[in-house]
Amino acid sequence: MIKIGLVDDQAYDLEKLQTILKKEEEIEIVFATNNSEHAYSLLKTTEIDLLITDIEMPKLSGYELADFVHTNALNIRIIFVTGYSAYAVHAFELNVLDYILKPYSKERLLKGIHRFNHVNAEKLETDKMMLKYKSDIHMIEKQEIIFIERTGRSTTIVTKIGEFQTYQTLGELESKLTNKSFIRGHRGFIINIQYIKNFSLYTKQSYIVHFHHTEKTAMMTKVNVEQLQKNYY
C-alpha cells in the first residue's frame, strides 16, 4: 500500500487527483489539501510514502515543500504535477520521482506513481561500487557519481568527492548502475541526471552537459536530450 499526500491550490485539479487515485487498490490517500501551509504542517506529523504536489502555489511553493522533505531527510518521494514545463531541470536537483505536465491523462499519472515501486526495488541493491585500477581498489557511493567518461582504454568516474580511474568499460559499469538516474547520454558517457545543471548546444546533433559540484562537462546527443525531455515533461 502506497500512502499518498496531495497538494494543489486549484480545487478542480485536486479533485481530479483524488478521483483517479481513490479507485486504485494499492493506494491510500492520507491527506488532500489546497493549502500548502497546511500540507507543510501535515508533513511534520503524518506518515506518507509519496507527495504529489503542484509547484506554483500561494505562500509555500511545491519546491519549498520538496526542499523541506529533503532537508529533513524524510523518506518521502515527490511527484510534481504542474502547468509549467520551465521548472523541469531544477526538479532534477531535488531528485523528484516524476514531473507531470497538466493536463494529463489517468495513464500518465499512474505511470509516475508506478515508478515508486521500481525505485523501492532499487533500494535493495548495494549502494556502493567497486572500482579496480592497477593495484588499487576503491569503494565509492553510486549516488555521488556525477558522470563517467570513457577515453581510449581508460575510464574516468567524476564524483562529488573527486575523480577515479579504472580500466573497466562503460558497459561493465553501466550494468551496475541500474538506477534510473543513470543514462547513457553519449557513446562515451554515462550521466547521472540528478546533477545536471544545464545544456549548451555544441553541434546540430549534440549538447555539452554542465553539472553541479564540478566544472567538468560531458556530452549528450540531441536524441538523448529529447528523450530525457520526453520522459520528464
Res 232 pLDDT > 60:
no
What mean pLDDT is predicted for residues 63-76?
84
pLDDT digits 0-9 by tens, 79-91: 999 988 776 666 6
Extract the C-alpha cell encoding 205: 546533433
pLDDT digits 0-9 by tens, 105-159: 999 999 989 888 777 655 545 678 888 888 888 889 898 999 999 998 899 999 9
Burial 132-171 (b: 16+ CB within 10 A, else e): eeeeeebebebebbbbbbbeeeebebbbeeeebebebebe
Looking at residue 124, what is its pLDDT?
47
- Percent of the chain past pLDDT 70, that is, above it, reads 92
The CA-CA-CA angle for residues 117, 2, 94, to 5°, reads 65
CA atoms of 46 and 65, how far apart (whole Å): 14
- Strand (E) or helix (H) holding 109: helix 106-122
CA atoms of 54 and 52, how far apart (whole Å): 7
Handedness of CA 44, 45, 51, 55 (dihedral sign): negative
Q: How many residues does the chain have?
A: 233
Task: Report the predicted TM-score, pTM, of the whole model to 2 decimal places.
Answer: 0.55
Looking at residue 130, what is its pLDDT?
84
Mean pLDDT, all residues of the chain: 88
Pairing of strands 50-53, 77-82: parallel
Q: How confident is the model at residue 41 (pLDDT cuts 50, 70, 90)?
A: very high
What mean pLDDT is predicted for residues 84-103?
77
Q: Can you name the residues that pair with 3 across neighbouring β-strands?
A: 28
Looking at residue 18, what is its pLDDT?
97
